[in-house]
Amino acid sequence: EAQVTQNPRYLITVTGKKLTVTCSQNMNHEYMSWYRQDPGLGLRQIYYSMNVEVTDKGDVPEGYKVSRKEKRNFPLILESPSPNQTSLYFCASKFRGSYEQYFGPGTRLTVT
């Protein structure tokens, strides 16, 4: 089944404790991206990647890192999480020349 998977789905952590949210897709998509969704603010892009080893900042990259060592994986790293990073995070992927994105199931992160 074609899909985007994220892990973990739920995470509660404390300020400053490094964490990684994994994202994997099995559709051979070149383009992958991370979004955060907050009430009243819609989806805001954090980082995106057009292909392996090619990443770029989105609208709200501060406090996040990403890497794209393999085509199927695009992990999101929070080196020192803070409470303002409490949010619902979505990974998405698509073919580079396409517009329709496929979203993962979301990761709800709480930083205390």
Partner 1 sequence: EDKVVQSPLSLVVHEGDTVTLNCSYEVTNFRSLLWYKQEKKAPTFLFMLTSSGIEKKSGRLSSILDKKELFSILNITATQTGDSAIYLCAVYAGGSYIPTFGRGTSLIVHP
CA distances, 38 to each of 11, 89, 95 (Å): 16, 9, 26
Question: Which residue among 60, 66, 68, 104 contacts partner 1 (CB under 8 A)?
Answer: 104
Query: Does 61 participate in binding partner 1 (rule CB under 8 A)?
Result: no
Query: Does 105 participate in binding partner 1 (rule CB under 8 A)?
Result: yes
For partner 1, the closer CB: 73 or 95: 95
Rounded to a whole number of angstroms, the minimum distance from the CB of residue 13 to partner 1 is 22
Contact segment (CB under 8 A) with partner 1 among 16-24, 60-68, 78-86, 89-97 equals 89-97
CB of 21 closer than 8 Å to CB of 7: yes
Determine whether 41 is exposed, middle or buried from the number of CB atoms within 10 Å of its CB (0-12, 13-18, 19+). exposed
Question: Which residue among 12, 27, 41, 54 contacts partner 1 (CB under 8 A)?
Answer: 41
Contact segment (CB under 8 A) with partner 1 among 17-25, 61-69, 77-85, 96-104 equals 96-104
Other beta carbons less than 10 A from residue 30's beta carbon? 16
